[in-house]
Homo-oligomer: A and B are copies of this chain.
Amino acid sequence: MNDTQQVMAHFEATCRAHGLKLTHQRMEIYRMLLQSTEHPSAETLHKQLATRLPTLSLDTVYRTLATFEELGLVKRVETMSSQARFEAVIDQHHHFFCDQCGKLIDFHWHLFDSMGLPESLQTVGRIRNKNVVVHGVCDQCLSGEKSRS
């Protein structure tokens, strides 16, 4: 399930459906983001792709991610970090953000997903989605703290 080939096929279909050319750059950027679990920034992706596409420009990464976002293939993750960070849209999930090292960890929360929104939101407008962001310090940073002391 959620086999990479299947996801790539869906990606290609979506691009075609919107009249987008399947360029080498687009394929590689999407594939890299799919493989990634770290919610990379445009710059991180650009570095990671340097071997495969040595002439890839950073601007293309930014532009391509913006395009993918419009198609709903990619999501911009809600963080307050200076650089925007991205993920391939695969399923409904939420984020734990480590305030110390900036690491993002996905988690699922079906109970929350199935919950209705509070009354006060009934009148604000049209709701598109609801997401939880949990802040804290990750295990790795915690044990780092300990070992350092």
**Using a CB–CB distance below 8 Å, which chain A residues touch chain B?**
76-80, 84, 96, 98-99, 105, 107-109, 111-112, 115, 117-118, 120-121, 123-142
Copies in the complex: 2
Question: Could you tell me if A126 and B121 are in contact, using CB atoms closer than 8 angstroms?
Answer: no
Q: Nearest CB to that of A123 among chain B residues?
A: B139
With the chains together, A122 CA to B125 CA distance in Å?
35
Question: Could you tell me if A131 and B133 are in contact, using CB atoms closer than 8 angstroms?
Answer: yes
CB distance from A93 to the nearest CB of B (A): 10
Known: A78-B79, A80-B76, A118-B108. A130 touches B134 (CB 8 A): yes
With the chains together, A125 CA to B104 CA distance in Å?
12
Chain B contacts for A77, CB-based, 8 A:
80
CB distance from A51 to the nearest CB of B (A): 29
CB distance from A78 to the nearest CB of B (A): 5
Question: Could you tell me if B128 and A105 are in contact, using CB atoms closer than 8 angstroms?
Answer: no
